[in-house]
Structure 1
Amino acid sequence: MRAQGGRRWFDLTPEGRRALALWEQARRQDTVQYAEKDTAHRPSKSRMQAWVPLAAQADEERCAGTEPAEIPATFARPSLTYADLEGKRLSDFTAPADLADLERLAGPGPVRWLFAPELGDAPRAVNLFCGCGGWCVGLRKILGANVDMLCIDKSADAVATSRAAGCTAVCADITLLDPEHPVFRYTAILIASPPFPVE
């Protein structure tokens, strides 16, 4: 049931709901009365549509200049946790709110890495100090290896070049990464080629 202006019944205040219920009751009684009389005495459809629901009017007056009420915590959808992902696949989560939670849980890593690889999926590799993506491009294009690789480097320019080469790359300081983060739990390969410090 909707009140005037497209507001839903549960959006109304208690006073608004009572007024809407009274308005609905009066409208039903009027309809019965008009049905018993000759149709010539019935008001036109446009006049009936012009009636303003008391509920919406009372609610608008009461709430003028105020923001809509927040949804109580008891009715809000709880956020996903890592425990909610156990035994699940990415395809089990389709709601936009769930996908937003998955992105939050994955951090800068790929969301798909939160879940166990499916049969036939490429092995997962983490490439630390990826630079401009030499390892990533070399393994995929030159050796023809089927690898799902996450490239990580501290240099934003190097990461941009790596992404331009088709790699999944993240700009991050590896000293701040948690090796026990759930994104890394199904990693099969670790590549680390730190740059040589120049003095």
Structure 2
Amino acid sequence: MNNIHQQTFSVTLADRAAMKQQTPAVLWFTGLSGAGKSTIANLVEQQLLAMGRHTYLLDGDNVRRGLCADLGFSDADRVENIRRVAEVAALMTDAGLIVLAAFISPFKAEREAARQSIGADRFFEIYVDAPLAVAERRDVKGLYAKARRGEIRHFTGIDSPYEAPEAPALVIKTEHETPERSAARVVELLLGDAGDGW
């Protein structure tokens, strides 16, 4: 690291944000597999697009097909997965985008590291809260069943812990409201936090 030096360029985050006429941010959706993170994030992105916002959605499964294809699901690999995603999200906000990140991200320390990497003023932690029993009932991929049979190791909620956020910007209890209502609440959070700047 001694031979690596930070470069300073003329075009800044403020310039890119002004060009897009929006305030960059990261909406970080965390929760168990099957809680509804990707479904809600997808609906939020559609709403923001309809409002003329510039966005990008980072999804756990999709990222593991490329950027994190070399990682498994051990605790150490999960930490590295989230570290990489946070760095990508930070770069995307520097480009002026509103980023939606949908990841189980089970550990508090890694979510806090993501907040620090991205910037606390641009990081909105959204806890998509579904009880384990509800998430298992929605198990369209059959992952919980495989984990229960021991075919998948280190599966969050079964043999690997999930550490719930202590003070998220928003809690969404998906067993009690529709995905459409949940998405609307996320957009309200974003717009309400900074008014017309978003």
Larger RCO, structures 1/2 (Cα 8 Å, 6+ apart): 2
In the superposition, the TM-score normalised over structure 1's length comes to 0.30
